[in-house]
Structure 1
Amino acid sequence: MSDSLPHVLAVDDDPDLRDVLTQYLAKNDMRVTAVSGGAEMDDVLQREVVDCIVLDLKLPGEDGLAIARRLREQGSIPILMLTGRSDEADRVMGLELGADDYLTKPFSQRELLARLRALLRRVKLHSTIADEVGKLRAYRFEGWELNLRLRRLKSPDGRVQVLPNGEFSLLTALLASPQRVLSRGQLIEQSHLYDDEIYDRSIDVQILRLRRKIEPNPSQPRFIVTERGAGYIFAVPVQAM
C-alpha cells in the first residue's frame, strides 16, 4: 500500500524538523524518507523512486543551492525549497536554478502539505500532456503547420522557419489548448514540458515575437488574443496530427 503513496524525500540537517515532516506527511497519505544531506539523498535516489524533494538551502557541506543545481542537471524531479525569512537572494537563486517552489521557516505544516500536493498534481498533469504531445507529429491552423518533431513552422505560402526554443515551447502550449484562456502561470508550466525556461516576465515578449511571425496584422491579432486580466487564448480552431 505504501508503494502507491507519493514518495517525498526531505533533506534537512535539523533532526527535529525531519521528525516533524515525517510524522505529519505520513498522517496525510505521503510516504516520507528524511535525510540530513546530499550524500544520503544520492543514496536514496539511487535505490528508490522519489516523487518530490523538500530541500533546505542551509546545509553543512554541500549546500542546498549546489544540490538544487545538481538535481536539475540530472532531471526534472520537483523541488520545494526551505529557506530563512531573510534569504531572499538565495530564494531567487534557487528558483533560477530550477526549484519549483519555496517556503520560509518557520512554516505552517498545512501550507507545506498544500504546496506539495500542488506540485504533485502539476507533475501528473505534465506527464499526461507530455504523453499526448509525444504521439503527435504536428499542429495545423489556418494554413500554418507547426512540425513538433523538427520544431519547424511552415506558413500558408510554404515558407519554413525553425523557431527558437522559447517561441516553440510557447506556441506548442497554446496550440495544445486552442480556444481556451491560459493564464501566464499556466503557460509557464506547460511551456516547461518542452525543455525551455520561460518566466513570467518574458511571456509577453515571446507572445509579441510570435505575433510578428504568424499574425496578418500583429497590432490586431486574431490568432493569439489577449484576454485582459486573464491571460491569452489561441482563438482559432487547431488540427492535431
Structure 2
Amino acid sequence: MQVKTHILVVDDDLEIRELLDEYLSKSGFNVSTVEDGESLNQYIDQQGFPDLILLDVMLPGDDGFTLCQQLRKSSNVPIIMLTAVSDEMDQIIGLEIGADDYIAKPFNPRQLIARIKAVLRRVNITQEPTHDTLPKQIHFGDWSLDTLAHRIVNRETDQSHDLSGSDFSLLMLFLNRPNEVLDRDTISIATKGRESLPFERAIDVQLSRLRNRLGDSAKYPHYIKTMRGNGYILAVSVEQER
C-alpha cells in the first residue's frame, strides 16, 4: 500500500486548520495540525519531520518567519508560507529565509493543492536520483556542491552553506546547464513546478539568496550573471565527480 504524503498545518485559526484538514485529507494526504510554534516543536520532537509544512506567518509567540528560520537550521523539509493577500513583503521575507513557496490568504483550495504538488514534485526530482545518475560532487569556480548533503563548500576558504530544497533545485538547474541563458519561466518551472506569475518577485529573491550564498556581488556577479531582457546564466565552468 502506498504511504500517503504527510502534511503538517501550523495555523492558530481553528476553522482554517479544520478546513485544511478536511480538504487535504480528501485530496489523499495524511494531515496533522498544530496551532503555534511551541506545539510545532513538540510535534517534531515526538513524531519527526513531516513531508511538507504549511506555515502561517501570523502566529502567537514565535511568528512564521522565526519558525521557518529555526526549521532551516535542522531540516530541508519543504515549507509553504501562508501569507496575507496584500502583503508582498511577507512573501519576499519568507522566500529569503528559506521557504519553498508561499500562497496568499484567502486562497483557492485547488490552487493550494497545485502548489503543494508542485513543491513535492520538485523535491522528489531533486532527492530521488540514484547514485548512477547524480554525481556526488559538482565543482564550479571556487565552490563544490555535495549533492547528497545539499551543501556547498568553498574550496579556498572552507566556508560552507546548507541549501534549502528550492536553493538546491535552482543551483542544480544552473549546474546542469552552464553558460546557457535561462529565462524566468524556465527557472520557475524547475524550482516551483509552474511558470512565473506576472510581477512575481519569487525568482528575484531566490536568485539573490543563492548569489549571497556564493558570495557574489549584487552589482558585479561572478557566478550567476543577469542577461537583461533574456534571463540569467552561470558563467563558470562545471566539473562533475562521481
TM-score normalised to structure 1 length: 0.65
1:32 maps to 2:37: no
Relative distance call for 1:6 and 1:183 in structure 2 (3 A) is farther
CA distance in 2, matches of 1:20, 1:120: 21
Give the structure 2 partner of residue 186 of structure 1: 187
Give the structure 1 partner of residue 51 of structure 2: 51
Is there any run of 5+ residues in structure 1 with no aligned partner, and where?
A: 153-160, 191-195, 212-223
Check conservation: 2:223, 2:234, Cα contact below 8 A. no
Relative distance call for 1:66 and 1:27 in structure 2 (3 A) is same
1:125 maps to 2:125: yes
Larger radius of gyration: 1
Give the structure 2 partner of residue 106 of structure 1: 106
Which residue, 210, 214, 238 being the options, matches 1:198? Answer: 210
> 3-state DSSP class of the match of 1:198?
helix
Residue 91 of structure 1 deviates from its aligned partner by 2.6
CA distance in 2, matches of 1:208, 1:93: 22
Relative distance call for 1:136 and 1:92 in structure 2 (3 A) is closer
Residue 95 of structure 1 deviates from its aligned partner by 2.0
Q: Which amino acid aligns with 2:36?
A: G
Residue 240 of structure 1 deviates from its aligned partner by 3.9
Give the structure 2 partner of residue 87 of structure 1: 87
Q: Which amino acid aligns with 1:74?
A: S
Check conservation: 1:182, 1:233, Cα contact below 8 A. no
Check conservation: 1:68, 1:97, Cα contact below 8 A. yes
Check conservation: 1:151, 1:163, Cα contact below 8 A. yes
> 3-state DSSP class of the match of 2:12?
coil
CA distance in 2, matches of 1:101, 1:6: 18
> 3-state DSSP class of the match of 2:83?
strand
Relative distance call for 1:66 and 1:5 in structure 2 (3 A) is same
CA distance in 1, matches of 2:178, 2:42: 44
Residue 231 of structure 1 deviates from its aligned partner by 5.1
Give the structure 2 partner of residue 10 of structure 1: 9
TM-score normalised to structure 2 length: 0.64
Relative distance call for 1:70 and 1:21 in structure 2 (3 A) is same
Greater relative contact order, per chain length (Cα 8 Å cut-off, separation 6+): 2
1:135 maps to 2:136: yes
CA distance in 2, matches of 1:66, 1:114: 26
Number of equivalences = 207
> 3-state DSSP class of the match of 1:74?
coil
Check conservation: 2:11, 2:36, Cα contact below 8 A. yes
Is there any run of 5+ residues in structure 2 with no aligned partner, and where?
A: 147-152, 162-167, 193-207
CA distance in 2, matches of 1:171, 1:60: 35
Residue 39 of structure 1 deviates from its aligned partner by 1.7
Residue 65 of structure 1 deviates from its aligned partner by 1.8
Check conservation: 1:183, 1:231, Cα contact below 8 A. yes
Check conservation: 1:225, 1:233, Cα contact below 8 A. no
Residue 127 of structure 1 deviates from its aligned partner by 1.1
Check conservation: 2:178, 2:233, Cα contact below 8 A. no
Check conservation: 1:183, 1:232, Cα contact below 8 A. no
Which residue, 216, 222, 229 being the options, matches 1:209? Answer: 222
Relative distance call for 1:45 and 1:92 in structure 2 (3 A) is same
